[in-house]
Structure 1
């Protein structure tokens, strides 16, 4: 069993995983440096984090082929912490973030992904694609025509080379060819070396130099909690996207714990907290990466490139990497969601658009997904609340009125439920048949109370029949209409 898992996850696609890992490693370098700058730390903090996250998650994660590293979403959370308390507190926060993520995995919080609708996931994907593209614009603003020509040539290689052969990932060919062109022609364009200084030594184990007391915990816990939520949210969403791209499944709870283990390891080698990266994960998949070996190689190659091949890596033109990231943004965006915008239910389209709008405007993935999930819940409750039918029949003498309730009774449908009864009608007995209904919450029980007590005030005897076991349990616990002093009869 163990050997078959190793063969499937590590050795089933060796050549594809090795090449994809190299492409991802090259694309990680400028992003890790940029995210370090955003967080206000030395570039090596982001680079070491990307190496550590990728290598550790390859073993501990629940989604083979998914790339984890330093990310912009996490970097934005760290800005104030680094500014006010310094790097050592950031490292301590990274370790605590890992601990909280492991706890989340043990509590099986990864299973909460089932409450995220397809519209929210699509909105998340589209927003990420837009943000990835927008992040490339600074490299294409106020530059010479040579940069545009190189970027266009890179895109031509990326999309044209697969028609020649798919044996080598076209993004890798793009990076190599444009680097050679830039060196041979001595082009004066921005390169990776202009982003920041690459480290020239291997990371070492170190303990965060902070006091181990309650005051430290008070400072780092709010940041760690935010990083935990943002990191797991982005990782779970990315896992769902890679699941779709590869037609495979992943273990979300294991991924939560794997992210935690990776962040703990990262904090102890001087790296910043990280999480899954949708852009790099898409690059990995589209370059042929499928197994854990691709993720491991991405981290390993990254370390080799920045420490041992730094002088060569510095020469890679940013135009080549911009072309790769534009390819990622185009491939990530769900164009089908635009083409079928009018075909989908308006509520689904609105959820998708709202998720995109909030995410892009705030650059905060958590806020975008939160708004999307909230709207999905509201629309779902409204839709289900309308599926409630109450039919009325009377006996020949007009002494008995039968009400038959079919549907879901909860907070969104409780007013409809109460409004369906005629309390002024003169009858001796009212029988309410709820065998086709389900009472979900205390609002529903309160609505039932209101109906029965109103009939009582009119001197009408009421009988409720057909409560299912779950509804009856809820009514028994929270209803007040059958407490001493009332005359209604409740039969199950």
Structure 2
């Protein structure tokens, strides 16, 4: 807020009002889709939106209810009820606050892209399919937790299609699609909602289900402050759903912040963003609100309309509050069929269909992770989908990294400025007394056994000295260190000296911590391979060199001559 001017304030007010107008129908729609009353979505937009702007780590973030939460919140409401949803939301806020305090913001960014696209696309399918009943005006629909049961419910009740609801839905959808082409700065969702609501009210009054007929009138005031009834039993039952809300909220908010960074050239503070999300989600349930997170579309709209600071987010919340106080009775007349196209378009936009197809067409392990995550999101459970997707991604990564490890026996070029694999050398002769190996890749639990097997398979004769070139080993874990220690012990027991050249900082630190460094000895470590070779040549059995025709090193010509009586250099 340094150097904040009146001109900046005017820009923030304009952006905040525009985003606030857009947020009203979305807040109600997401609340209804989540199985709660529409005003709870408005409360969330007002309270969480303001707190996220004040305490968050992004200058442009707009917070509120989002489509990503819909399947999770609906499942919690169906299983535990609205009161327990408030408790789960509060607990999710605590988790998010702890994530920020513990500086876990960077870790969330490491969730693989196929997992994110898989569950995002799955959520989009659930949201879209969940609005078919309202779009068609079906009667007698009972909501279920699983996708297939909900689809069966729609098929069974297809004979109850309401043509008036269908008309209202198509009118709203038409204006949502057409308005951006002729009035790009006008919120298309609001235009569609207003026109279709007016059409339903005056052309066929009383023929469609409305917010008032389904949920009662929307009160034109905020609810009273009330602390939910916390018990250890409820906390124990809801800790899993709460953690799911927290992780999903963290991912969504940080993705939104990254999008904002890309649009503005600014940088957000990921840990502060998580802490701000936590505070917002702890306070909002105390006023009846549902879980909230950063909304990518609304944040982008905020930036496009000229926002320069978090003040625009505060204005956005105040705009929604003002509309609630003045226009709440009119909002109660909105047909549910008019809300359905808004959520369907949101689902279509968040489906990531192009990215989904791109990853699928790679026909790699990532394609399998994508499909499995997507399928589990739709047909099982979002939590299971993310857990399985992450597990598969980890296994896939381990497999790739383990096959990436290379252990090659090498020989120096005649000028000894570089080495080549023994199989590719112009004179593929290695020294019987000095074996030289290049290790390339991370030496971790997934590749440790491969390392040991490759060494023993390549070493046919027992050398005097074994040189390991480890300049291309960036990381070693305790499993890899233990396997290396076994190799060192095995060869040292047979009288073989171990030299290591070019070891990087992390592997050296690990060796020092475990005692392997001392086992090899400080004199066994060299910065360059040439230094290690010079030290190895001093430990040769000179009698074995006489008559040797391998000529692995440039000194070999003199060493193998029968008349040689000098000392090694």
2: CA distance between counterparts of 1:134 and 1:154? Answer: 18
**Match of 2:4?**
4
- Report the TM-score when normalising by structure 1: 0.82
Q: Does 1:390 align with 2:407?
A: yes
Q: How does 1:455-470 map to 2 (within 5 A)?
A: 455-470=491-506
CA distance in 2, matches of 1:277, 1:408: 37
Change (3 A) 1:90 1:441: same
**How far apart, in 1, do the equivalents of 2:257 and 2:228 lie?**
38
Distance verdict in 2 for CA 1:262–1:396, change over 3 Å: closer
Instruction: Give unpaired runs (5+ residues) of structure 1.
Output: none
- In the alignment, the residues of structure 2 paired with residue 196 and residue 342 of structure 1 have an alpha-carbon distance, to the nearest angstrom, of 42
Alignment of 1:410 with 2:444, yes or no, is yes
Q: CA RMSD in A?
A: 3.6
Q: CA deviation at 1:434?
A: 1.7
CA displacement 1:164-192 (0-9 Å, x = unmatched)? 22232222111111111111112411222
Show the 5 A alignment for 1:202-241.
Answer: 202-203=221-222, 205-208=224-227, 210=229, 216-217=231-232, 219-220=234-235, 223=238, 226-241=241-256
Matches of 1:227 and 1:283 in 2, distance apart?
A: 24
Residues 41-190 of structure 1 mapped to structure 2, 5 A cutoff = 47-63=42-58, 64-69=60-65, 71-72=69-70, 75-76=73-74, 78-79=76-77, 87=83, 94-139=89-134, 140=136, 141=138, 142-187=160-205, 188-190=207-209
| Match for residue 466 of structure 2 among 430, 448, 452 | 430
- Give the conservation status (yes or no) of the 8 Å contact 2:131–2:344: yes
Q: Secondary structure at the match of 2:34?
A: helix
Bigger relative contact order, structure 1 or 2 (CA pairs below 8 A, ≥6 apart): 1
Contact kept? 1:18, 1:293, Cα under 8 Å: no
Please say if residues 23 and 45 of structure 2, whose CA atoms lie closer than 8 Å, have aligned partners that are also in contact. Answer: no
Distance between the aligned counterparts of 1:43 and 1:163, measured in 2? 29
Q: Within 1, Cα distance between the matches of 2:161 and 2:342? A: 18
Aligned to 1:24: 23
**After alignment, is 59-68 or 414-423 more displaced?**
59-68
Which residue number corresponds to residue 316 of structure 1?
334
Q: For each residue in 1:112-142, what CA deviation from the matched residue of structure 2 results, as whole angstroms up to 9, or x when unmatched?
A: 1221233333334322322221221221344
State the Cα distance separating 1:471 from its structure 2 match: 0.8
Aligned length: 474
| 1:479-490 equivalences in 2 (<5 Å) | 490=524
Cα distance in 2 for residues equivalent to 1:43 and 1:387:
53
In terms of mean alpha carbon deviation, does 251-260 or 12-21 score higher?
12-21
Shift of residue 301, structure 1, vs aligned partner:
4.5
Match of 2:393 among 376, 380, 383: 376
1 CA distance for matches of 2:454 and 2:483? 11
Cα 1:91–1:16 change in 2 (3 A) is closer
Deviation at 1:397, TM superposition (A): 5.6
Determine if contact 2:172/2:192 at 8 Å carries over to the other structure: yes
Cα displacement (A) at 1:487: 10
Q: CA deviation at 1:6?
A: 9.2
- Against the structure 1 CA distance between its residues 79 and 317, is the aligned structure 2 distance closer, same or farther, given a 3 Å change threshold? closer
For residues 249 and 228 of structure 2, what CA distance do their matches in structure 1 show?
29
Change (3 A) 1:77 1:128: closer
Task: Say if 2:53 and 2:313, in contact at 8 Å, map to a contact too.
Answer: yes
Query: 2:511, 2:356 → 1: CA distance?
Result: 46
Q: Does 1:331 align with 2:327?
A: no
TM-score, length-scaled by structure 2: 0.72
Tell me the distance in 1 between the aligned counterparts of 2:381 and 2:97: 26
8 A Cα contact 1:28 1:302, kept in partner: no
Classify 1:11/1:368 alpha carbon distance in 2 versus 1 (closer, same or farther; 3 Å). farther
Residues 391, 234 of structure 1: alpha-carbon distance in 2 compared, 3 angstrom cutoff: same
Runs of at least 5 residues in structure 2 that lack an aligned partner in the other structure: 139-159, 412-428, 527-569
Distance in 1 separating the partners of 2:316 and 2:491:
71
Distance 1:357 1:277, change over 3 A: farther
Rounded to whole Å, the distance in 2 between the matches of 1:234 and 1:149 is 36
Q: Determine the structure 1 residue equivalent to 2:263.
A: 247
TM-superposed CA distance for 1:349, in Å, is 2.6
Structure with larger Rg: 2
